[in-house]
Amino acid sequence: MAGKYVATSTITIEAPPSRVWSVLTDPGAIKEFMFGTDVATDWTVGSPILWRGVWDGKQYEDRGSVLEFEPGRRLVVTHFSPLSGQEDAPENYHTLTWTLEDQSGATQLMLSQDNNASADEAEHSKGMWDSLVKSVKAIAERA
């Protein structure tokens, strides 16, 4: 059964949406803010996206697909990790939605992850995403 809990993390970044967008879609920046992950995709709607790396000493290859790609505004991808121990089935995928809102030269960045099975699982995910969006902020603001 699909989870009904959503984890959301929001941060204000002192950089324009175009800069934040470039951080979100640049493989080098993704590796930096996403815990050493290598990403492979062409960012075309419908295309696959793969995240590869090592987490807690275990190699992983997470997968999903690009659902929406609106430069400077919105990026939506699905995500499944075999490290979850769940079956690779549609009901076990999360949807990650990155939304950028212009705030007079700054950017409000919101990341949400759906399909969490419980409030505790959503809270755990939120903690991870809070750390991740802080890293996006640091990268976007230093350039």
Domain of 44, CATH number, reads 3.30.530.20
Domain of 90? 7-142
Is residue 48, in this structure, part of any structural domain at all? yes
Query: Is the pLDDT score of 104 beyond 80?
Result: yes
Starting at the earlier edge strand, list the strands of the sheet with 106-116: 5-13, 106-116, 94-103, 74-79, 58-70, 48-55, 38-40
In a domain, 1, yes or no: no
pLDDT of residue 117: 87
Q: What is the pLDDT of residues 12-60, one digit of tens each?
A: 999 999 999 999 999 999 999 998 999 999 999 999 999 999 988 889 9
Q: Give a yes or no: residue 87 inside a domain.
A: yes
pTM exceeds cut of 0.75: yes
Number of domains making up the chain: 1
Q: How far apart are CA 49 and CA 37, in angstroms?
A: 12
pLDDT band at 84 (very low <50, low <70, confident <90, very high): confident
> Residue 3 pLDDT > 80, yes or no?
no
The answer to whether the CB of 72 falls within 8 A of the CB of 18 is: yes
Cα-based distances in Å from 103 to 12, 59, 76, 83, 140 = 9, 39, 21, 37, 15
Check residue 4 and give its pLDDT.
86
Residue 2 located in a structural domain:
no
Contact indicator for 25, 43 with CB cutoff of 8 Å: yes
pLDDT at 125 over 60: yes
Residue 1 clears pLDDT 80, i.e. is over it: no
HEC string for the chain:
CCCCEEEEEEEEECCCHHHHHHHHHCHHHHHHHCCCCEEECCCCCCCEEEEEEEECCEEEEEEEEEEEEECCCEEEEEEECHHHCCCCCHHHCEEEEEEEEEECCEEEEEEEEEEECCHHHHHHHHHHHHHHHHHHHHHHHHC
pLDDT recorded at residue 2: 54
Mean pLDDT of 56-79: 95
Which pLDDT does position 32 carry in this prediction? 94
Structure tokens at 109: 């960045």
- Which pLDDT belongs to residue 85? 85
